[in-house]
């Protein structure tokens, strides 16, 4: 568990003219900070059309950017006795109903008390494959988003799930409460998402971002807001929150991408349905989980006209 990950190699093609190299990569690689990217460029880990360049180098349309991301030392992950609601498990995978407030995997500044730590306690051999920082993790939910997440229990299953996500054959459905009257009652939001140029801690709809699509269906209209079922066709960071905010209907309780007059303990976002092909048998299975009590209370208060 103390070993480092392997070097990652990525290639990107510039889709626009006259954008700084470091800014382009920061939007293409949202998990890396701009300062980290600048260090990689200065250390020769980045090339444009095979030639090294400075962070301020401006790209031209169709330039090919190659980046090598060296492994970083990872401290040993420790099992932690954290309650988990495991709604399905076999020898290949486990499907978890993740509570709000639980981070999926360790990150700088948040080394423990994550879903990974809880999984290590439940499955002692969970750290014997895959990414040493994120064993078994093939997708994620924001810390304050509740609901279904699938994890792999061995390398074969992990690769199978990764392929399913890449082919977009996995179905992920969310319940979301947004501000205002969302119209039309069915729709799709297609807009690229990348780092917000004005605030690197936020995502935004930006022309140089990665393609993203969010489909929605209105379930019912409530006082000054709308309850909708949302399916994401892509898995960009904060995708639903960014897309809904971009069309003027931010998620209720979302302090990062919108302000709400409706009291909510957190962002009203819950992963309620997950459909996958089981890596072991090849069977298609759908899993569901109900809206948690804190979000259910928000709806009850709206129905009673208390907010």
Positions annotated as catalytic residues are 142
Neighbouring CB atoms inside 10 A of 16's CB total: 11
First CA to last CA across the chain, in angstroms?
A: 49
Please give the Cα distance from 293 to 219 (Å, whole number): 19
* CA separation, residue 19 to residues 16, 27, 57, 79, 203 (Å): 7, 11, 8, 44, 18
Please give the Cα distance from 218 to 178 (Å, whole number): 10
Are residues 74 and 2 in contact, defined by beta-carbon separation less than 8 angstroms?
yes
Are residues 99 and 63 in contact, defined by beta-carbon separation less than 8 angstroms?
no
- Mention every residue, 6+ apart, whose C-beta is less than 8 A from residue 179: 224, 225, 249, 250, 251, 252, 258, 260, 262
CA angle in degrees (0–180, nearest 5) for 109-111-115: 125
Are residues 241 and 256 in contact, defined by beta-carbon separation less than 8 angstroms?
yes
Q: Provide the 3-class DSSP secondary structure of residue 81.
A: coil
Are residues 234 and 188 in contact, defined by beta-carbon separation less than 8 angstroms?
no
**Which is nearest to 118 in space by CA: 90, 84, 144, 148?**
84
- Token readout for 265 is 């303990």
**Which is nearest to 279 in space by CA: 92, 39, 45, 133?**
92
């Amino acid at each position: 568990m103390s070993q480092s990950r392997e070097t990652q190699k990525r290639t990107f093609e510039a889709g626009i003219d006259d954008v700084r190299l470091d800014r382009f990569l920061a939007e293409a690689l949202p998990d890396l900070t701009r300062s980290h990217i600048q260090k990689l460029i200065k250390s020769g880990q980045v090339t444009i059309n095979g030639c090294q360049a400075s962070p301020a180098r401006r790209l031209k349309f169709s330039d090919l950017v190659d980046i090598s991301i060296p492994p970083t030392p990872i401290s040993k992950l420790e099992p932690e006795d954290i309650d988990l609601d495991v709604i399905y498990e076999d020898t290949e995978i486990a499907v978890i109903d993740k509570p709000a407030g639980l981070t999926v995997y360790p990150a700088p500044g948040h080394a423990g008390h994550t879903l990974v730590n809880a999984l290590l306690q439940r499955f002692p051999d969970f750290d014997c494959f895959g990414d040493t920082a994120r064993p078994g993790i093939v997708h994620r939910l924001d810390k304050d988003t509740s609901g279904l997440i699938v994890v792999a229990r061995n390398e074969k299953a992990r690769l199978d799930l990764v392929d399913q996500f890449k082919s977009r054959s996995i179905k992920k459905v969310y319940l979301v409460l947004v501000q205002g009257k969302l119209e039309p009652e069915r729709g799709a939001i297609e807009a690229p998402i990348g780092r917000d140029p004005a605030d690197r801690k936020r995502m935004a709809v930006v022309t140089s971002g990665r393609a993203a699509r969010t489909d929605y269906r209105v379930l019912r209209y409530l006082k000054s807001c709308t309850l909708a079922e949302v399916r994401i066709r892509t898995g960009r960071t904060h995708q639903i929150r960014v897309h809904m905010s971009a069309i003027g209907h931010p998620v209720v309780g979302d302090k990062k991408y919108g302000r709400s007059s409706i009291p909510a303990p957190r962002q009203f976002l819950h992963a309620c349905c997950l459909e996958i092909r089981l890596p072991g048998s090849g069977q298609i299975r759908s899993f569901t989980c109900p809206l948690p009590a804190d979000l259910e209370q928000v709806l009850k208060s709206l129905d009673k006209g208390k907010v």
